[in-house]
Each structure stands twice: as C-alpha cells, then as structure tokens.
Amino acid sequence: MIDNKNNFKKVAMATAIAAVTAFTSMSAFSAAHPVTGEELATDQSYTYRLLDGIPTIDPQLVEGVESSVVVRDLFEGLLNQDDLGNNVPGVAKSFDLSEDKKTYTFHLRKSNWSNGDPVTANDFVYAWRRAVDPKTASPYSWYMEMMAIKNGAAVIKDKMDPKELGVKAIDDYTFEVTLEAPLPYFPGMVTHTTTFPSHQATVEKFGKDWTRPENIVGNGAYTLTSWTLKEKNVRERNAKYWDNANTILDKVTALVINDENQALIRFKAGDLDKTEIPAGQYPSMKKSNPSEAYSFPRLCNYYYTFNLSDSGPEAFKDVRVRKALSYALDRNVIVNNVTKGGQKPAYTFTPAATASFEVPAVDYASWTQKDRDAKAKELLAAAGYNKENPLKFDMIYNTDEAHKKIATVISQMWKQKLGVNAVLANQEWKTFLDTRKKQAFQLARGAWCGDYNEASTFLDLVTTQAGYNHGKWVNKEVDQLMAEAKTSATPNVNYTRVEQIMAEEMPVIPVYHYAGVYMIKDTLKGWPVKNVQQTIYSRTFYKTAK
C-alpha cells in the first residue's frame, strides 16, 4: 500500500511551487521549463505511432492500452498516477477510509468540463452506474465487479437496478463509495479509465456520437480536435482543465501506422517523437541512436501453459515432465539472442517490477543452466521418456513473427537437450483464443499484462476459478492463499508461497518478463520510464529546444 497522505502533500507542494514559478515567469513561458529550467521548444506538439485505430474513447466502453492513453488525456478520474506509478490527486483532492475499511469518501476539487460545466460527484455517480448498467454492455464491467462495489455484481447480472450501486454524491464535491468487503488496493483501481466521469447531458443528447470531436465534452488536459479511424487522433490543450497552468505540451497527435518497420522509417524521417522498436532491433538502434533507444521493464509476463485438464496429454500430468521442459528452456538465450530488447528471464509468474512484490527464492532460478539441463534430463528419464519412447506434443501460439521465433528456439532446445519432439502450429488470434478457452491444445502460449500494479493481478490467474486459467490447473492451497491475500495486511507472504508452489508444480513455463522497447526523441522529456504499467498522461511531457 502507498502512503497516500504523504504523497498528496508532496504533490500539492510541488504543484504550488510550479504554479507560482509558472505565474511569475509567464513572459518567459515559451523559453524555459518552470521547474527544470531547460529551454523549451516553441513548437510544443508531440506525435506518436499507434499500431491500430482507436476503437472507442468512451471511458465506460474503452478497452486496451492505447485507447486508454487517449482517454486519460481527454478525461480525468478521481486519482492519477505519478511517473513512478504512485497514486496522486486527480479530480479528488483527497479521500478518507472508514473504520470498517469499506467506505471511501473522495473530496473533489472544483474543476470544469471542457464546456464550462462544473465537474461534480454526480458525474462520477452517473459514470459508475453507466459502467455496470447491462444496457451499456461495457466489456470492462468485469473491472467494476473486481472493485467489489456494493451491489456491483448484481447490477451487472441485471438482478438489480443500476441505482442500487454503492455510490453516492453526498454533495456536489463529495463522492462516497461503499464496498462489499475491504479491498486494500481499491484507491489504485480508480486510476483506471473505466471509472472516469462522463458528461451525462452530452452522452444522452448525442448517443454513440457523443465522442466525436464536434460533440465531446471532457474534463482532461486535452480536448479532441480530430479523429479519423485508422488514420489519426489529434488532441489539443483544454484551457478549462484545472491544472492547465502546469501543462506545457499543446498538441498530441497519434498517427496510425500498422507496420512497425514503416513506423521506424517515419521516426527516422522526423515524423514521430515516439515509436516501438521492432523485435530484435533494439541493439542496433541503441548503437545508432544511443540517447533515443529505450528499454525498461513492463508489467507483463510471457509463458507457455500446459493443458492439465482431461483433454490434455497424459504426459503433462506428470510433474517431472513439466519440470524437465521448464528447466531445459534456456531463458537467457531467448532474451539475449531472440527478443534482444532488455526483457528479463522469468522463473516466477509475477514480474519483479511489480510494486512491493519481492521475488521469492524459487530453487531453479538460482541454478546454472548446466545444472538445470542435467536435472531436466534426469527427470524426463525418470518419467519414462527416452530415445525409444520420445516425448511428443503440439505447441501452439498466435500468428506473429516474434512468437514464431521464440517457439522455434524453444522447441530446438528441447529437441537437442531432451530429444523431445514439439510440433509447432500457429493460429490466427481469435481462433487461438477459442482453442485455448476450449482446452483444445496441449501446450499454448500465454501472456498477461497487469491491470493494476499488485501481484494479485497475475497470481489470481492461476486460481481454479480464473477464466484465464486455460491450463485448468487446480490447487486448493493456491486458491486459499489468494483468497486470504485480498484482505491480508501482509499479502506478500501469500504471494511468495504461491510462487513457490508454482515452481514445485510448474503448471506454466515462465519465459520472460516484458520490456517496453521504444524510440523516444531526444527533445521529448517526461516519459515515465519507471512506471511499469506505462500509465501515460501526455500533459506531463514537454519538448525542449534542441
């Protein structure tokens, strides 16, 4: 947990200093950064590459990382994250937690929508009810369910009216949320876009068209000025934003460029300030543009999951086989010679970068690869597989060049070290999801990016009930540990134990933990490289004069 009070104070202080500095140096505003003193560029516009069109920017309907970036520019929730991922005030100046830890009271600041209307607690009540209303059919209503808001689940199941949701506007600037049960990481969850306010009058007047540039009303640092699907999305400074005085960047443009190599050419041509580096090209980019090529840890894992359900192969039910395959996988070869982008070899399911997560000492992580290989051979032989009776299975991944390379290398390692014959097959994304969900696979690729910065966002996935537990691994102890962790004061003890059980049982083979691998222009400052969730707020960026 984060000490919110302290953080709030610090931020408030910094904001005040920045505001005063900005005010006193108004004339020199375009020349120097109010805090760092760096010389600012006259053109404060930032252009970045988008992989694909933004499907929607309606806060309650939005899905996906890239769309959320746009929503965080156009709207603001109760709390924001700072560049380390800590919670800082957003529309809420502060909040209190009741004695029984089930009622949060948020105290809102006086701020305005882009049309001049005040942002009130009622806007949050409206948005939160809208998010759970079956009529909205928000694909992210499950997130609201996870927030454990009183009656949330019943409303989503259409068994209760959205008005019964445990949210209330005590007055215009006091918003109260009642939970079903205490949830220690609840404050962090309100930095998520699904919980952002929406402007009722606009939504009701324009229906689905309310998010068009000509109609939209937001409360974020930017307003939408142009949006063409699969071409571009342009946001410009919102003069009515409460912290507009501290915003330096004037304009944000997202250009859709589907092909990442094409995007890299556009970056080199000076069209983009930021783009992703295609897999395997980080070392060469680092060499040619050392100050612009970045790699930093992300809150995502990459693994292969065994099908342990009845439809899975008999061989995988033997833990020795699962361990042998995991041990024989040389993760260093994958990260150093295949992905080459600063990814970290994974021996645990949860990435080390996860907030307050201490990586537990799992045995095989500390061995040398030589030891692991020897152990793998021993285990596989003990399980009864050898040259005469070789282990054979199918291994699937979703169609993608990078996944293909990794799968090929892994299967070669197994072939050479253990004589195992893994047959590779790729599937188009939706087919792949279907195959995995129906347990119609033997070994399948999996990956997960944390929804919030806490280990349970990963470890909940291996509980029996989890929809994402495609391997159908069942471990009662893990279920119990994860259930306890929800309310425990020391959840890390539970997480450590779960990781240790996973190392003993090996229901999945962790491969690596992701890195964000980007090209970022020298002149673009303020990228939150230390925020592992990559929660981006464009208003924190600025451009310096070269």
Partner 1 sequence: MFSFIVRRTLSSIPTILILILISFALMRLAPGSPFSTERGLPPEVLANLEAKYGLNLPWYEQIYTYLRGIIFEFDFGPSFKYKDRSVNDILAQGFPVTLTYGIWSFVVAVAVGIPLGIAAAVKHNTKFDYAAVGFSIGAQVLPNFVMAPILVIIFTLWLNWLPGGGWNGGQWQYLIMPIIALSTSYMASIARITRSSMLEVLHSNFIRTAKAKGLPTSSIILRHALKPALLPVISYLGPAFVYMITGSVIIDIYFSTGGMGQFFVDAALNRDYSLLMGVTIVFGVMTILFNAIVDITYAWLDPKIRL
Assess 163 for contact with partner 1 (CB under 8 A).
no
- Residues numbered 358 to 377 that lie near partner 1 (CB under 8 A) are none
Assess 255 for contact with partner 1 (CB under 8 A).
yes
- Give whichever of 92 and 299 is closer to partner 1, judged by the CB atom: 299
Q: How far is CA 412 from CA 389, 397, 418, 423, in A?
A: 18, 16, 10, 10
Assess 311 for contact with partner 1 (CB under 8 A).
no
Locate 284 and state its tokens. Answer: 């060469």
What is the C-alpha to C-alpha distance for residues 106 and 92, in angstroms, rounded to an integer? 6
In this structure, are residues 377 and 418 in contact, taking their beta carbons and an 8 Å threshold? yes
- Residues numbered 223 to 252 that lie near partner 1 (CB under 8 A) are 228-232
Assign 36 to helix, strand or coil.
coil
First to last CA, the chain: 40
Instruction: Select from 178, 200, 435, 488 the one that contacts partner 1 (CB under 8 A).
Output: 435
What is the C-alpha to C-alpha distance for residues 321 and 300, in angstroms, rounded to an integer? 26
Instruction: Select from 42, 99, 214, 269 the one that contacts partner 1 (CB under 8 A).
Output: 269
Least Cα distance to 448 among 429, 469, 432, 463 occurs for 469
- Residues numbered 173 to 192 that lie near partner 1 (CB under 8 A) are none
What is the C-alpha to C-alpha distance for residues 226 and 232, in angstroms, rounded to an integer? 8
Assess 38 for contact with partner 1 (CB under 8 A).
no
Which DSSP string corresponds to 190-216? TTSGGGS---HHHHHHHGGGGGSTTT-
Assess 528 for contact with partner 1 (CB under 8 A).
no
What is the C-alpha to C-alpha distance for residues 394 and 304, in angstroms, rounded to an integer? 12
Instruction: Select from 105, 419, 468, 500 the one that contacts partner 1 (CB under 8 A).
Output: 468
Number of residues that bind partner 1 (CB under 8 A): 55
- Residues numbered 133 to 162 that lie near partner 1 (CB under 8 A) are 134-139, 141-142, 145, 153, 156-158
Assign 185 to helix, strand or coil.
coil
- Give whichever of 267 and 327 is closer to partner 1, judged by the CB atom: 267
Least Cα distance to 512 among 405, 385, 423, 424 occurs for 405
Instruction: Select from 34, 53, 471, 507 the one that contacts partner 1 (CB under 8 A).
Output: 53
- Give whichever of 206 and 242 is closer to partner 1, judged by the CB atom: 206
Instruction: Select from 40, 57, 92, 346 the one that contacts partner 1 (CB under 8 A).
Output: 57
In this structure, are residues 337 and 291 in contact, taking their beta carbons and an 8 Å threshold? no
Instruction: Select from 257, 315, 420, 509 the one that contacts partner 1 (CB under 8 A).
Output: 257
Binding site for partner 1 (CB under 8 A): 52-53, 55-58, 61, 63, 134-139, 141-142, 145, 153, 156-158, 208-212, 228-232, 255-259, 261-262, 265-266, 268-269, 271, 428-431, 433-435, 437, 447-448, 467-468
